[in-house]
Amino acid sequence: MIAYIIRRLLHTILVVFAISLIIFFSVRLTGDPVSVMFQAGEPTKEAIAEVRKNLGLDEPLYVQYGIFLKGLITFDFGESFRSGMPVMDLIKEKLGATLALAFGGMAVAIMIAFPVGIVSAVKRGTGVDFFGRIFSLIGISFPNFWLGIMLILIFAVNLKWLPSSGFESFKHLILPSITLGMILSGILARLVRSSMLEVMNQQYISTAKSKGISDFAVIIKHAFRNALLPTVTFLGLQFGALLGGTVIVEQIFSWPGIGRLIIDAINQRDYPVIQGGVIFLAVIMVAVNLVIDLSYTLIDPRIKIGGSRS
């Protein structure tokens, strides 16, 4: 187990190195950052050269990359070209909001999708199943910008129950979480339903029923626990996606998250922020995957990590 974790950590270092290469060189294909910095008037050549020198952009590329790598080791991504603030501080500032939104969306998705998926599977072929499947379809098909705007219209503008933008309190989290969670819950409910259906056909479900235990115990204790494995894999991958890929939702709700931070940085060719943000998300993604792989051993005893079957 420990050997496995060490191996995975080494693997992570390789991944981060590869990403650093890709991100470093690809942002430099977007054009000269200095040219977009001067907004008024024609800058003099001296002025441009001065700025380039200050930002370290006058060095040869390999030297710049070397400096970037050296920073990585100490978790120092440099300073923003724009604000001059350390990139790490910028990320830290946004991390809370991003995590809150990711967890919020995830929680909404789980609260909706687990019951819907389970009931749909158990009542297969009935009206309840039909509505469950329609719900999934709607969840999958709704564009989230539309859903987000509708929610703002209804609950923020008309009813004035909830705030429409920013992140200052728990109340601010509700609408964006629902927007994010609804989309996710559509796919998740389908996944739960299909894995439940598969499990419900297994012989051990008949065994459980033949013991005379309640239907609830058969469904939750015996079937759902077994149906959980594919679900957890999916949730883990989605969690990673939620961290970086919620740009649209963050935009609609003016959410101060990492996704928006990176988008703004890209618009302004703020190299250090782009590099730092992307690397940070990559590391979190790899870490989440590791946690999920480890959690398999808790859910399914047949899976043993790093060892042979006994």
Partner 1 sequence: MVQKVLEVEELKVGIKDEDGGKIAIVNGINFHLHKGETLGIVGESGCGKSMTSLSLMGLLPAGVERHGGDIRLGNLNFNSFNKKDWRQIRGKKIAMIFQEPMSSLNPVYTVGAQINEMILNHERVSKKEARNRALEMLKLVGIPRPEQVLNEYPHQLSGGMRQRVMIAIALSCNPEVLIADEPTTALDVTIQAQILELMKKIQDQLHMSIVLITHDLGVVAEMCDRVIVMYAGEIVEESLVVDLFDQPSHPYTKGLLASLPDIQEQKEYLSSISGVVPAPGKMPVGCRFAPRCSFAHERCKEVPPLFEMENGSRVKCWLYEDGETEVAAK
Q: How far is the CB of 116 from partner 1 (least distance, A)?
A: 20
Q: Which stretch binds partner 1 (CB under 8 A): 141-149, 241-249, 276-284, 300-308?
A: 300-308
Give the residue with the Cβ less far from partner 1, 50 or 129.
Answer: 129
State CA 144 to chain mean position distance.
15
Q: How far is the CB of 192 from partner 1 (least distance, A)?
A: 16
Q: How far is the CB of 305 from partner 1 (least distance, A)?
A: 15
3-state SS string for the chain: CHHHHHHHHHHHHHHHHHHHHHHHHHHCCCCCHHHHCCCCCCCCHHHHHHHHHHHCCCCCHHHHHHHHHHHHHCCCCCECCCCCCEHHHHHHHHHHHHHHHHHHHHHHHHHHHHHHHHHHHHCCCCHHHHHHHHHHHHHHHCCHHHHHHHHHHHHHHHCCCCCCCCCCCHHHHHHHHHHHHHHHHHHHHHHHHHHHHHHHCCHHHHHHHHCCCCHHHHHHHHHHHHHHHHHHHHHHHHHHHHHHCCHHHHHHCCCCCHHHHHHHHHHCCCHHHHHHHHHHHHHHHHHHHHHHHHHHHHHCCCCCCCCCCC
x/- mask, partner 1, residues 109-138, rule CB under 8 A, reads ---------------x--------------
How many residues line the site for partner 1 (CB under 8 A)?
Answer: 23
Give the residue with the Cβ less far from partner 1, 168 or 215.
Answer: 215
Give the residue with the Cβ less far from partner 1, 82 or 124.
Answer: 124
Q: Which stretch binds partner 1 (CB under 8 A): 31-39, 98-106, 157-165, 196-204?
A: 196-204
Give the residue with the Cβ less far from partner 1, 208 or 243.
Answer: 208
Q: Which of residues 225-284 bind partner 1 (CB under 8 A)?
A: 225-226
Q: How far is the CB of 216 from partner 1 (least distance, A)?
A: 11
| Residue 299 in contact with partner 1, rule: CB under 8 A | yes
Q: Which stretch binds partner 1 (CB under 8 A): 12-20, 51-59, 230-238, 298-306?
A: 298-306
Q: Which of residues 202-231 bind partner 1 (CB under 8 A)?
A: 202-204, 206-215, 222, 225-226
The site for partner 1 (CB under 8 A) is made up of 124, 202-204, 206-215, 222, 225-226, 299-302, 309-310
